[in-house]
Amino acid sequence: MPKIAIDPITRIEGHLRIEAQVDAGQVKDAWASGTMFRGIELILKNRDPRDAWAFAQRI
Amino acid sequence: MGEASGSIYDSLRKKGVSRRDFMKFCSLMAATLALPVGGAAKIAEALEKAPKPTLVWLEFQDCCGNTESFLRANDPTVAQIVLDLLSVDYHETIMAPAGKQAEKSLYDVVKNQKGKYLVVVEGAIPLKDGGVYCTVGGRAAIDIAKEVCGNAMATIAMGACAWDGGIPGAAPNPTGAVGVKDAVKDITLINLPGCPANVVNLTGTIVHLLTFGSLPLTDSMGRPLFAYGHRIHDDCERRAHYDAGRFVQIWGDEGHKKGWCLYQMGCKGPETFKNCPAQRWNQGTSWPVEAGHGCIGCAAPHFWDTMTPFYKRIEQVPGFGVEATADKFGAGLAAATAAGLIVHRIARASKKKSSEEEEK
């Protein structure tokens, strides 16, 4: 079965890759990957809780 | 999106922008860039002839906030002009093609317009583990940045992340995120920090380039002086309250209702250089301090680490204690001015040096 990949997916906010297995024009299986990681949860640790909104807002 | 053809002014006329609106835009730009008398006419003359530059917009470790800022040029006329100044050939958030077709749009520009196009970078570039924390089309952000910025006429790093790593680069910086200046060397680069950067400053930078054929003068940190040359504290509409010692003490108290100074609530205006009080946001409607919240210092270096906790009062502001004696204030102000002048001289000297190096 041929496998296709669409990366970047545009007109969305963020980075997304879609891979799909196609059989006779029908998608049999598909995988989505977010291709960007920043670790905001790790960055938020041990900070003043009153600042959390500003960090989390940037996700 | 589309072919770069005709002058910017021709394109605007076709879209029904009147001469009057065009001149209003040129005046706004002349004021933003702090040009002397005749600046607006000079800009108008240049834009009447200048061909539309091609721009590609790269998004890396970003939240899309600078794109929102870019698209929020919401006065219909100004938005038309801003979007018409440029032929935006690649921008993942707003472009129709996806996947291979999208990549083709980008690399066609790199190949066919080598040394002639502009790049805006939004978001930080992760270097840890071979750059795996941000990929587009299977390529690491660092590889894309090196190729696309390396072949451009100029790169504009828009927002705090593209400048110095911003929020992904905040401690403990899990992905080794850095800004363009630390990721790609030997390119023509200007930085518009802020979280987000203001579209007026992006437009001003591009208009300066089209009018004078050069990027605006920058400070030692690569930020244009027209936008980052003034301290927020010095242009703040609440400054008189600071000088008179009238401070908000608790959110919602009498002083807060009366619009007093937010210094004691943690405002970072005294340590931040940006033109927010003059340019403001949302079509000049307001800005954070006017809305009643302190400045979070988003244009300052590594502000997620250096300006936090956001609600903790900063110490040792030059000129603080003005209400005590006028002389003390005067001395503080003089010291602050002197420090400002030194910064300015360093910036000019480094600019001169870099232009000499370019000539070699």
Res. B93 pLDDT band, cuts 50 70 90: very high
Region B97-115 average pLDDT:
96
Instruction: Identify the pLDDT of residue B127.
Output: 98
| Probe site for chain A from B70, B90, B93 (most A CB atoms < 10 A) | B93
Q: Which residues of A touch B61 (CB under 8 A)?
A: 36, 38
Region B47-59 average pLDDT:
91
Pairing of strands B87-91, B154-158: unpaired
Largest CA distance in chain B: 67
Paired with A21 in beta bridges are A3, A29
The closest CB to that of B167, out of A11, A17, A38, belongs to A38
Go through the domains of chain B in sequence order and give each one's CATH number: 8-227 (3.40.50.700), 229-359 (4.10.480.10)
Phi, psi of A22 (to 5 degrees): -115, 130
- Size of chain B in residues: 360
Nearest CA in chain A to B137: A7
Among B218, B336, B219, residue whose Cα is nearest residue B269: B336
Give the DSSP letter string of B238-305.
THHHHHTT-B--STTSHHHHTT-B-GGGT--GGG-B--HHHH-BTTTTB-HHHHT-----TTSTTHHH
Q: Which residues of A touch B1 (CB under 8 A)?
A: none
* DSSP reduced 3-state for B155: strand
pLDDT in tens, B290-330: 999 999 999 999 999 999 999 999 887 765 544 333 333 33
- Pairwise CA distance, residues B334 & A47, whole Å: 36
Averaged confidence pLDDT in chain B = 87
Nearest CA in chain B to A59: B63
Res. B334 pLDDT band, cuts 50 70 90: very low
Six token digits for residue B290? 């006017």
Locus of tokens 């008189």 = B240
Q: Is 70 exceeded by the pLDDT of residue B335?
A: no
pLDDT in tens, B18-27: 899 889 889 9
A with B: how many residue pairs have Cβ under 8 Å apart?
Answer: 102
The share of chain B scoring above pLDDT 90, in percent, equals: 69
Instruction: Identify the pLDDT of residue B83.
Output: 73
pLDDT in tens, B162-195: 999 999 999 999 999 999 999 999 999 999 999 9
Tell whether ipTM is more than 0.85.
yes
Least confident of B35-49, B73-87, B146-160: B73-87
- Pairwise CA distance, residues B266 & B292, whole Å: 12
Q: Which residues of A touch B167 (CB under 8 A)?
A: 38, 40, 43, 55, 58
